[in-house]
Amino acid sequence: MQPVSLKLVFRELLGLVFILSAVAKLAGADNFELYIFSLGAFSLGASFIIARLVIALELFLGVWLMLNTHPKLSIKLAVAVLAGFSAFLVVMIIKGSKDNCHCFGDLVDFSPMQSLIKNVVLTGIAVLSLKVKPFDIPYKNLIASLAAVACLASVFIISPPDNFRYSDYAVDGFNQELFDKAIADGQIDPALAEGDDITCFFSFGCEFCHMAAKKLSIMLSRGSFEGADVNVLIAGKHDDFDSDAAAFFADSQLPYNTIDSLAANTFLRITNGHYPVIVHTRDGQILEQWSYRDLH
């Protein structure tokens, strides 16, 4: 039989792994929720909520394991969670996915197969930490309940879902008059003054532009803005425009009709200094505009 002290070490180690996983996901919550949305099973708003519920569950599980108030129950939950994650990973492997599964957010890039192996190891650690006596502390049920509430609340407070406050993120990021003038002057393709268009004002070096492109790409794949042409305007001139564009679109998988660069001063005046800005126009007249966070 293993010494109790070693079993406690395994338990505390398992708890730390769950906490690290939760914190890493929380730090990269934007990409984690986009990953969930990209699976195609949930709406964008539901993906925001599910992402945070998963993070809160992992955070609570890690804290509960380390508190050791209910050894058997916490280990059973840990094994159940690992089994659920593993079942999902098996499905991803069968589908041929090799993308980062965001098990540790953006901290470590794990493929589904690598993450499945990791889960098998963690399940082994969970088994090795069985039969540990609970810590001799009072109010165990109260402490566990308070930990659960605290973990859930902290996740939603630190990273509120975007759909809880779309209006707070709305920006006046489009100047119709200057947009029309840029078209008249030939700085912007005159074709954007005709038909149904989604025009994206992006910068290749902007992290939120990358995420906005990913979000828009997923939305388009699920039928949003059907019939609209996607046009991309990039701030400034780039000596390596082609290679930058290739990297940007390989990462975001955003399908587009046209792409062009726009002088930085004109770009910033049209967007009132904001980017990314995405506008839906019909015959050149704005219908809607979004930043990254309120795009839905």
pLDDT band at 242 (very low <50, low <70, confident <90, very high): low
* Residue 251 resides in a domain: yes
187, pLDDT greater than 90: no
Q: Please check the confidence at residue 105 and state whether its pLDDT lies above 90.
A: no
* Same domain, yes or no: 112 and 224: no
Domain membership flag for residue 296 = no
Q: Model confidence at 170, in pLDDT bands (50, 70, 90)?
A: low
CB 274 within 8 A of CB 173: yes
Query: What percent of the chain is predicted at pLDDT more than 90?
Result: 41
Residue pair 89/101 in contact by the 8 Å Cβ criterion = yes
Residue 151 has pLDDT above 50, yes or no: yes
Decide: 57 and 78 in contact? Cβ < 8 Å: no
For the chain, the domain total comes to: 2
Q: Band of the pLDDT at 1, cuts 50, 70, 90?
A: very low
Judgement on whether residues 156 and 12 belong to the same structural domain of the protein: yes
Domain of 11, in residue numbers = 4-164
Rounded Cα distance, 190 and 175, in Å = 17
Establish if 246 belongs to a structural domain: yes
| 200 and 53 both lie in a single domain | no
Q: Is the pLDDT of residue 237 over 70?
A: no
Does pLDDT of 41 surpass 60?
yes
Domain shared by 37 and 152, yes or no: yes
In this structure, is residue 295 part of a structural domain? Answer: no
Residue 263 inside a domain? The answer is: yes
The model's pLDDT over 63-79, given as tens digits with 9 standing for 90+, comes to 999 999 998 999 999 99
If you average pLDDT over residues 156-179, what whole number do you get? Answer: 80
Has residue 3 got a pLDDT over 70?
no
Instruction: Assign 190 to helix, strand or coil.
Output: helix
Residues 102-121, mean pLDDT to the nearest whole number: 90
Beta-carbon contacts of residue 29 (< 8 Å; ≥ 6 apart): 51, 52, 55, 105, 159
Work out the mean pLDDT of the chain and round it to a whole number.
88
What are the backbone dihedrals phi and psi of residue 225, each rounded to the nearest 5 degrees, phi first? Answer: 55, 40
What single DSSP character describes residue 283? T
Do 208 and 85 share a structural domain? no
Average pLDDT over residues 81-86: 95
> Which one of 142, 164, 186 terminates a domain?
164
Tell me: pLDDT of 240 over 60.
no
Residues 215 and 248 in one domain: yes
Last residue of a domain, one of 143, 164, 185: 164
Tell me the mean pLDDT in the region 157-176: 78
Contact 208, 201 (CB under 8 A): no
pTM of the model: 0.83
Q: Are residues 127 and 42 in the same domain?
A: yes
Give me 75's structure tokens: 């280990």
Confidence (pLDDT) at 258: 83
Task: Read off the pLDDT of each residue in 197-224 and give the average, rounded to a whole number.
Answer: 89
Whole-number Å distance between alpha carbons of 82 and 238: 46
User: What is the DSSP annotation of 220-268?
Assistant: HHTTTTTTPEEEEEEES--TTHHHHHHHHHHHH----SEEEEE-HHHHH
